[in-house]
């Protein structure tokens, strides 16, 4: 059995968010995960690595990851900025067009991590995601190469609605187009997403998905049409994804210190 440790929505900055310290929260999550899962094959950071996408915030994140020898796969969220990230993490894997997305095999599975950050150009307070034609082409190529292997897609932005009206306004804008591409793959596909700051699972247009909570601040369960961005102090979480032959097993862990 192969294992990945997944962290989403770190929102690293040097001040608190609703009274919570994102650096302390991620430090606790990372320590808890490494102490309990030293046998993991790798780590995926699912975007919103920082709160404002500045080089100084990526500099704060860098030493927090220095003590692990596991390979780390980085992803972009709407709060990130690609150029500042690459300046601090030049070793991150880029595709041929310079987007921060990659693919790798683990067990019987093929993992693809998408870069759904819309831009450049970037627009202030624009938080929905988009896969441009270059990135859609990359996805089609990777699906072709995966052939008869099952696929796990990591995407910061959800492809479809999750029932929180404000978050549904800022999902992946062309998510339905991407789902159409995924459904053409002959083998099982499962989508793992962040962005929402709450643990959710379901199915979009015939494709199953799981959404992970943040390591820091969480979104309360509010399904009425007046949903707002009012975050709450609930335990932070991370995920342990197991690849067991043809089976995919997804655990979530709410941590309370290492």
Q: Can you give the binding site for Fe ion, defined by CB under 5 A?
A: 9, 48, 77-78, 195
Report whether 166 contacts 182 (CB < 8 A).
no
Residue 17: exposure state from Cβ atoms within 10 A (0-12, 13-18, ≥19): middle
Q: Smallest distance, Å, CB 170 to Fe ion?
A: 8
| Cα 31 to Cα 5, 26, 192, 212, 258, distances in angstroms | 12, 8, 22, 18, 6
245: its two tokens: 């032959």
Q: Smallest distance, Å, CB 116 to Fe ion?
A: 9
Cα 52 from Cα 10, distance rounded (Å)? 11
Q: Smallest distance, Å, CB 105 to Fe ion?
A: 27
Looking at the Cβ atoms of 143 and 178, the one nearer to Fe ion is: 178
> Radius of gyration of the chain from Cα atoms?
17
Looking at the Cβ atoms of 82 and 185, the one nearer to Fe ion is: 82
Looking at the Cβ atoms of 78 and 152, the one nearer to Fe ion is: 78
Strand partners, 14: none
Q: Smallest distance, Å, CB 100 to Fe ion?
A: 15
Looking at the Cβ atoms of 152 and 215, the one nearer to Fe ion is: 215
């Amino acid at each position: 059995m192969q294992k990945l440790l997944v962290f989403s929505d770190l929102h690293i900055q040097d001040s608190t968010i609703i009274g919570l310290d994102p650096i302390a929260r991620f430090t606790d999550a990372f320590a808890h995960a490494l102490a309990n899962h030293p046998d993991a094959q790798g780590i995926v950071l699912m975007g919103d690595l920082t709160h404002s996408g500045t080089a100084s915030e990526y500099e704060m994140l860098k030493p927090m990851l220095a003590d692990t020898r596991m390979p780390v796969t980085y992803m972009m969220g709407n709060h990130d900025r690609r150029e500042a990230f690459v300046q601090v993490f030049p070793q991150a894997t880029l595709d041929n067009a310079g987007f921060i997305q990659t693919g790798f095999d683990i067990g019987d599975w093929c993992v693809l991590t998408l870069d759904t950050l819309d831009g450049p150009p970037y627009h202030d307070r624009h938080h929905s995601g988009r896969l441009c034609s270059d990135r859609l082409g990359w996805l089609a190529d990777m699906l072709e190469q995966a052939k008869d292997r099952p696929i796990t897609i990591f995407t910061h932005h959800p492809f479809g609605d999750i029932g929180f009206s404000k978050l549904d306004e800022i999902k992946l804008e062309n998510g339905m187009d991407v789902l159409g591409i995924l459904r053409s793959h002959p083998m099982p596909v499962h989508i793992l997403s962040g962005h929402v700051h709450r643990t959710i699972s379901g199915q979009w247009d015939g494709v199953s998905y799981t959404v992970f909570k943040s390591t820091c601040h969480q979104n309360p369960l509010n399904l009425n049409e007046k949903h707002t961005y009012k975050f709450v102090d609930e335990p932070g979480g991370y995920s342990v994804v197991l690849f067991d032959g043809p089976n995919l097993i997804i655990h979530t862990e709410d941590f309370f210190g290492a």
